[in-house]
A and B are shown apart, each in its own frame.
Chain A
Amino acid sequence: MISSRRGFFKNGLLMLGASALGLDMLNTAYPAGVLAETLAQSPQNNNILVIVQMAGGNDGLYAVAPYTDPLLAQNRPTLALSAQDVIPLNSVMGLNKELGALQPLWESGSMAVMQGVGYPDPILSHFQSMYIWESLDMTGQQGSAEYGWLGKYLSTLPNAQSQPLNGIETGNQLPYALQAPNFSVPAIASAANFKLQAPPQTSAAIEQTRTSALLQLYTSFAQANPQNTLSGLLSSVSATTVSATADFDKAYAAYKPAITYPQSTLSSQLQIVAGAITQNLGVKVAYVIIGGFDTHVNAKETLQKLYPELAAAIAAFWQDLHAHGADSNVLMMTWSEFGRRVKENGGMGTDHGTAAPLFVFGPKVKGGLYGSNPDLSSLDTNGNLVYTTDFRSVYATVLTKWAQANTTSLLGGTYPLLNFL
């Protein structure tokens, strides 16, 4: 339960010395958590994983369409793509031209499309389905699992306790996927503001004294109030922040984007990630979120804006990394909690569905179209697609072939590996 996650913070902090936690001590502050001990340690490699969450449930049939299938137009008066709307991926499947900025990645063989990704007994609730994807707790009972799959992975890295920028997220809401035992993954909502502001005209030594006093208030509070389940979280967040900002601030300031990023929230987020990667800040997992995919009405209008924004931001990110010579050890994967209903509703949109394609990018990816094409003639009782690839196989492939992690202990089972890597 959640309470035991708090327990990690609490127990972890009880092991700290009362007065020892000065600024110089932060990097050794975290003891190994109980869970981390049960997970096999991951080896050190330099591979980086970037996750792009498309929140709201992306309409897979509108992103990668079986554009020759007559059932598509029958079901979707306004949301069926035909030949002129797509970049053909093969003779029957096509990428929506609104995602056209991805075409160079596709053509250079650094883009894989994994079709029909979902899970058994799909749940049509955003929040239960997101929770399933992020925690791998297939019951969907939110809060039952303690940690997210990426948080667990980060906890198995050899330097998990000393390197706060192993994982970064670029918003101010930490996703469940990054909930980790015994540390708080840094959330960098703004690169410019990811620093402790100091009073003007103050020497660095005095500023450190102020910060050190503050941090010690946190550790002593956690020690004196073990019954307060939030005291450990507060102590962990304050220590991580001081440590992570110190690592991030100066190094990031030296980052010069090689291209002009488009104006969008996702672009800004990916630019932070590109900066952290090119400046060698030790990032192993970076996480960005783009919302707005819950297209119950007027889907075409909404996606005409969202898809170009998504594609342009991703394209810019890869151009920037490539220009810096920093792309060879980077892999990017998109995901969304579900696809959408095959049949369009009366509001020119679609309701919650199930399986959908996801994208994987990177110079090491074996580009191409994977998995079975969507079968519009064989739907489930709710009129939704039947999944053909379990998302845990995608995770297993990434963890095994890219991160070289002990996948079975992280995912709690074995899943067939796929060929996009």
Chain B
Amino acid sequence: MNENENEHAFAPLPQPILSIDDSPTVISEDSAIIPEDITAPKPQKKTLRFGGRKISRRTLLIGASVVGLAAAGIAGGTLLAREQSVFAPGANVTPAVEANIAHLLRRAGFGGTQSDIQYYGSLGLTAAINQLLNYETITDPIENQLSSMNFDFTKFADMQRWWILRMLYTKRPLQEKMTLFWHGLLTSSAQKIGGPKNLPLLIQQNQFLRAHALDTFDNILLGITQDPAMMWWLDLRLSRKNNPNENYARELLELFTLGVSSGYTQDDVRAAAFALTGWSLRNGASVYTPAQHNTATQTFLGQTGSFDYRDIIRIIAAHPAAGPHLATRLFSFFVHPNPSAEEIKPMVDAYYSSGHSVKAVMQAMFNAPAFFSAAAYRARIKSPPEFVIGSIRQLELKTQGQGVGGAMAAMGQSLFAPVNVAGWPGDTESEAWMNTATWLARINLLNTAANVPGFLAAETGNILAFETMTSDIAKHNLKSYGDFINYYAQNFIDSALSSERLALLTQFLQINPYPSALQNITFADGTKTSWETARNTIYILLSGPEYQLN
């Protein structure tokens, strides 16, 4: 690819970002998510070039018979067969490739824009996966941009916004997604960190998880065991030599590594608690004091000796239950819930044959047939970050992130404040993301996006700028209500709507529920609608069932 390939990966962070109002955005549970004081960033000119050789999906789908494609099982995306041609580099970015790439980017990141899909599609699936996995080779300017923003990490809103901007604008989407995964598994919380002055410890933990996201499980566990925020959260800082507390030891076994049904006993919890003593916090830093470590002989998971924390991690990481537990958690998060032993076997094998490398496990996951199977397609309810970050990215709103953390919280995931020591139940069982409260939070956010000027982004103002819409209509020759709706359906939910469902939206477009508005969109076939109606049609589309699924 050309020298700018990294630039293509995800939309660039809007510049300049220094003019931002850094006063904390306080989002109460009851407040609407409408920041009103956003300093509009200047959008960067798009410099994406894809050459003339590719057939754009738009040409293909809008020009061709949508019914025919659906009949071929392509437009519906119900079958994501892993054909050889799909994986070959340089192939045309066909709808079949696009559906796979869109699926891949929803799972390995937070959803792809049309530019992203074209870019990764042009690589072919194998190379796309490799690029996502080998993210250390990609320079990510986000780091410098964020460091110039003067965040105050003793403020919760700033902490969330710092991470949200990463999710929005990183060029390493898998690294952010993995960080979110680890934040849910090896979780810690602002609710128990010793007050606002210690909140920066959670950023430190987050940076550790990001830096080691694909490291060996042993290294990740060694790091998180001595992580100050974790020591606050699960109390290892106060586990005393001769009278330890069991909190970290129990959750290390039950939640982080082996699982509750793996056969460990209360005696193992107790033994681990003794072996893990010796740690404390001093001025915010973790300190290991050998004299405060209990050196008594312990029997832990069938092995006997005078163990310390390194021994406990070593024994756990090599345990027969560790690989399957980690693989199940990853598979549930990235592919679909409740995997069978057969489905996770490639990941488990990779775990033990690679010296517990998480990268090897993830490589096995992406390359296993299950990842692109029909059973994986739309098999998870989108998590709040997947929904919110994905919407902002796909609508190409330019935002500096104010209000986004509160929006996610209303949907059930307040970053840095997990539900409990098990993180968020939706990470494993995605149904937990969906109930009346969280559904309302989703569609009401979209209502605001569609109807309240200035939502999240002064530049575009609304769900789709008038200029964007009319330009799409002209560029893609959208001649009718049906063309218009299916163009956006292709973009946002991978496929055109069936005629019955298309009729629901067509009906809405044509009743023009805003009689006061100008009939300011006229299609080539002579039908008209208003920008307001069109925006609310997009609201219906994004509020609908397909867009809630990942």
Please indicate the chain B residues that have their CB under 8 angstroms from the CB of A142 in the complex: 260
A187 to B29, CA, bound (A): 14
Q: Is the beta-carbon distance between B532 and A199 smaller than 8 angstroms?
A: yes
A3 to B261, CA, bound (A): 20
Please indicate the chain B residues that have their CB under 8 angstroms from the CB of A190 in the complex: 29-30, 410, 437
Q: Does B459 contact A (CB under 8 A)?
A: no
Which residue of chain A has the shortest Cβ distance to B452 in the bound complex?
Answer: A200
Separation in Å of the A341 CB from the closest CB of chain B?
9
CB within 8 Å for A127 and B250 given contacts A217-B545, A230-B430, A241-B440: no
Which residue of chain B has the shortest Cβ distance to A302 in the bound complex?
Answer: B192
Please indicate the chain B residues that have their CB under 8 angstroms from the CB of A185 in the complex: 435
Please indicate the chain B residues that have their CB under 8 angstroms from the CB of A16 in the complex: none
Please indicate the chain B residues that have their CB under 8 angstroms from the CB of A193 in the complex: 29-30, 410, 440-441, 444
Q: Is the beta-carbon distance between B504 and A230 smaller than 8 angstroms?
A: no
A287 to B437, CA, bound (A): 14
Separation in Å of the A354 CB from the closest CB of chain B?
12
Stretch at the interface among B165-173, B307-315, B420-428: B420-428
A33 to B545, CA, bound (A): 23
Please indicate the chain B residues that have their CB under 8 angstroms from the CB of A198 in the complex: 447
Separation in Å of the B546 CB from the closest CB of chain A?
7
Q: Does A325 contact B (CB under 8 A)?
A: no
Q: Is the beta-carbon distance between A173 and B240 smaller than 8 angstroms?
A: no
Q: Is the beta-carbon distance between B243 and A245 smaller than 8 angstroms?
A: no
Q: Does A184 contact B (CB under 8 A)?
A: yes
Q: Is the beta-carbon distance between B436 and A221 smaller than 8 angstroms?
A: no
Q: Is the beta-carbon distance between A56 and B250 smaller than 8 angstroms?
A: no
Please indicate the chain B residues that have their CB under 8 angstroms from the CB of A382 in the complex: 266
Which residue from B191, B508, B516 sits with its C-beta under 8 Å from A213?
A: B508
Interfacial residues of chain A within 122-155, with CB under 8 A of chain B in the complex? 124-128, 140-143
Mostly helix, strand, loop or mixed at chain A's interface? Answer: loop
Stretch at the interface among B93-101, B212-220, B364-372, B536-544: B536-544
A217 to B504, CA, bound (A): 8
CB within 8 Å for A230 and B513 given contacts A126-B420, A193-B440, A296-B235: no
Interfacial residues of chain B within 369-391, with CB under 8 A of chain A in the complex? 374, 378-381
Q: Is the beta-carbon distance between B410 and A172 smaller than 8 angstroms?
A: yes
Q: Is the beta-carbon distance between B437 and A297 smaller than 8 angstroms?
A: no
Q: Is the beta-carbon distance between A218 and B421 smaller than 8 angstroms?
A: no
Interfacial residues of chain A within 182-202, with CB under 8 A of chain B in the complex? 184-190, 192-202
Separation in Å of the A175 CB from the closest CB of chain B?
10
A27 to B141, CA, bound (A): 53
Interface residues on A, range: 35 or more
Please indicate the chain A residues that have their CB under 8 angstroms from the CB of B452 in the complex: 200
A308 to B146, CA, bound (A): 42
Please indicate the chain A residues that have their CB under 8 angstroms from the CB of B410 in the complex: 172, 189-190, 193
Which residue from B239, B430, B447, B513 sits with its C-beta under 8 Å from A346?
A: B239
Q: Is the beta-carbon distance between B504 and A187 smaller than 8 angstroms?
A: no
Q: Is the beta-carbon distance between B443 and A196 smaller than 8 angstroms?
A: yes
Separation in Å of the B340 CB from the closest CB of chain A?
12
Q: Does B520 contact A (CB under 8 A)?
A: no
Which residue of chain A has the shortest Cβ distance to B240 in the bound complex?
Answer: A346
Please indicate the chain A residues that have their CB under 8 angstroms from the CB of B546 in the complex: 221
Which residue of chain B has the shortest Cβ distance to A241 in the bound complex?
Answer: B436
CB within 8 Å for A210 and B260 given contacts A196-B440, A349-B245: no
Please indicate the chain A residues that have their CB under 8 angstroms from the CB of B498 in the complex: 220, 224
Chain B, residues 460-498, CB within 8 Å of chain A (1/0): the string is: 000000000000000000000000000000000000001
Number of interface residues of B (CB under 8 A): 75
Chain A, residues 156-196, CB within 8 Å of chain B (1/0): the string is: 00000000000000011110000000001111111011111
CB within 8 Å for A124 and B514 given contacts A296-B235, A352-B250: no
Which residue of chain A has the shortest Cβ distance to B426 in the bound complex?
Answer: A173
CB within 8 Å for A186 and B545 given contacts A210-B508, A220-B500: no
Which residue from B266, B411, B422, B441 sits with its C-beta under 8 Å from A127?
A: B422
Q: Does A2 contact B (CB under 8 A)?
A: yes
Which residue from A55, A196, A227, A345 sits with its C-beta under 8 Å from B444?
A: A196
CB within 8 Å for A351 and B511 given contacts A193-B444, A230-B381: no
Inter-chain residue pair count (beta carbon < 8 A)? 210
Q: Does B6 contact A (CB under 8 A)?
A: no
Chain B, residues 397-416, CB within 8 Å of chain A (1/0): the string is: 00000000000001110000
Q: Is the beta-carbon distance between B254 and A125 smaller than 8 angstroms?
A: yes
Q: Does A222 contact B (CB under 8 A)?
A: yes
Q: Is the beta-carbon distance between B444 and A221 smaller than 8 angstroms?
A: no
Chain B, residues 492-532, CB within 8 Å of chain A (1/0): the string is: 00000010110011011001011010000000000000001
Q: Does A17 contact B (CB under 8 A)?
A: no
Please indicate the chain A residues that have their CB under 8 angstroms from the CB of B532 in the complex: 199
Q: Does B439 contact A (CB under 8 A)?
A: yes
Please indicate the chain A residues that have their CB under 8 angstroms from the CB of B381 in the complex: 230, 233-234
Q: Does A49 contact B (CB under 8 A)?
A: no
A194 to B266, CA, bound (A): 44
Which residue from A124, A348, A349 sits with its C-beta under 8 Å from B266?
A: A124
Which residue of chain A has the shortest Cβ distance to B338 in the bound complex?
Answer: A2
Q: Is the beta-carbon distance between B545 and A218 smaller than 8 angstroms?
A: yes
Q: Does A235 contact B (CB under 8 A)?
A: yes
Which residue of chain A has the shortest Cβ distance to B543 in the bound complex?
Answer: A214
Q: Does B363 contact A (CB under 8 A)?
A: no
Q: Does A108 contact B (CB under 8 A)?
A: no
A347 to B451, CA, bound (A): 53
Q: Does B187 contact A (CB under 8 A)?
A: no
Separation in Å of the A176 CB from the closest CB of chain B?
9
Q: Does B224 contact A (CB under 8 A)?
A: no
Please indicate the chain A residues that have their CB under 8 angstroms from the CB of B439 in the complex: 237-238, 241
Please indicate the chain B residues that have their CB under 8 angstroms from the CB of A18 in the complex: 500
Q: Is the beta-carbon distance between B436 and A186 smaller than 8 angstroms?
A: yes
Please indicate the chain A residues that have their CB under 8 angstroms from the CB of B505 in the complex: 213
Separation in Å of the B366 CB from the closest CB of chain A?
22
Interfacial residues of chain B within 137-184, with CB under 8 A of chain A in the complex? none
Q: Is the beta-carbon distance between B511 and A171 smaller than 8 angstroms?
A: no
Separation in Å of the A193 CB from the closest CB of chain B?
6
A201 to B450, CA, bound (A): 13
Chain B, residues 263-291, CB within 8 Å of chain A (1/0): the string is: 00010010000000000000000000000
Which residue of chain B has the shortest Cβ distance to A344 in the bound complex?
Answer: B243
Which residue of chain A has the shortest Cβ distance to B535 in the bound complex?
Answer: A199
Q: Does B434 contact A (CB under 8 A)?
A: yes
Q: Does A251 contact B (CB under 8 A)?
A: no
Q: Is the beta-carbon distance between B239 and A173 smaller than 8 angstroms?
A: no
Chain B, residues 39-66, CB within 8 Å of chain A (1/0): the string is: 0000000000000000000000000000
Q: Does A278 contact B (CB under 8 A)?
A: no
Please indicate the chain B residues that have their CB under 8 angstroms from the CB of A202 in the complex: 513-514
A268 to B30, CA, bound (A): 11
Separation in Å of the B229 CB from the closest CB of chain A?
15
Q: Is the beta-carbon distance between B444 and A347 smaller than 8 angstroms?
A: no
Which residue of chain B has the shortest Cβ distance to A223 in the bound complex?
Answer: B500
Q: Is the beta-carbon distance between A141 and B412 smaller than 8 angstroms?
A: no
Which residue from A189, A201, A213, A352 sits with its C-beta under 8 Å from B504?
A: A213
Which residue from A55, A217, A231, A349 sits with its C-beta under 8 Å from B235?
A: A349
Please indicate the chain B residues that have their CB under 8 angstroms from the CB of A217 in the complex: 501, 504, 540, 544-545
**Interchain Cβ contacts under 8 Å between A and B, 26 examples:** A128-B260, A141-B261, A172-B411, A173-B425, A173-B432, A187-B436, A193-B440, A193-B441, A196-B440, A201-B516, A210-B536, A213-B540, A217-B540, A230-B378, A230-B381, A230-B431, A238-B545, A244-B436, A245-B436, A294-B247, A296-B245, A297-B247, A347-B235, A351-B246, A351-B247, A352-B250
| Apart from A190-B30, A209-B513, A244-B436, 9 more pairs, CB < 8 Å | A200-B451, A200-B452, A227-B374, A230-B430, A233-B434, A234-B548, A346-B243, A349-B235, A352-B250
**8 closest pairs, A vs B, by CB?**
A346-B240, A346-B243, A347-B238, A206-B513, A187-B437, A189-B437, A296-B247, A217-B544
Residues of A within 8 A of B (CB): 2-3, 6, 18, 55-56, 124-128, 140-143, 171-174, 184-190, 192-203, 206, 209-210, 213-214, 216-218, 220-222, 224, 227-228, 230-231, 233-235, 237-238, 240-241, 244-245, 268, 291-292, 294, 296-298, 345-349, 351-352, 382
